[in-house]
Amino acid sequence: VEKIAAAVTPRTKALFINTPSNPTGWTADHETLRAILDLARAKGLWIIADEIYSLFHYGHGRAPSFLDIAEAEDRILFVNSFSKNWAMTGWRVGWVKTHPSLQQVFENLIQYSNSGVAQ
C-alpha cells in the first residue's frame, strides 16, 4: 500500500485493484483492502475493483472484497464477468456495480454503445 500511495500524483483519478490477481493468484486480505480504501478516501480517488477472478479463491470462504468493507458513499466501481467464473470463455458478458452518481452515465453508455450480448 505504501508503494501505491507513493505513486499517487495530483493527476491520479483512480486506483485499479485486481484481486484475486491473474496470473499470480495474489489476493488482498481485508486489512490491505481497508488500507487501500482509506488511501482512496483521503486522496479523493475512485477505486476500480476488478473482481473477475473472485471465485478462483482457494482460501477459506470467498475472496475478500471491497464489498465487505465499503460504505454507501465510497467511490468504487466493481467489475465482474461471467466468462472466467462460469467458464463462458468468448461470451464477453460482464457487469459493473457502480456508485449511484454514475448510474445514469452507465445507462447512457450501454444504451448507445451496444444492443445486448449478441454483438
Is 90 exceeded by the pLDDT of residue 88? no
pLDDT band with cut points at 50, 70 and 90 for residue 41: very high
Sequence spans of domains, the chain: 2-113
Percent of the chain with pLDDT over 90: 53
Residues 94, 80 contacting (CB under 8 angstroms): yes
CATH of 2-113, one of 3.40.640.10, 3.40.50.300, 3.90.550.10, 1.25.40.10: 3.40.640.10
> For residue 97, what is its C-alpha cell?
456495480
Q: What is the mean pLDDT of the chain?
A: 89
Which pTM was predicted?
0.85
Instruction: Tell me phi and psi for residue 83, to 5 degrees.
Output: -60, -35
Q: What confidence score (pLDDT) does residue 70 get?
A: 95
DSSP one-letter string for 78-95: EEEEHHHHTT-TT---EE
What is residue 5's three-state secondary structure?
helix
Q: What confidence score (pLDDT) does residue 78 get?
A: 95
Model confidence pLDDT, tens digit, residues 64-85: 999 999 999 999 999 998 888 7
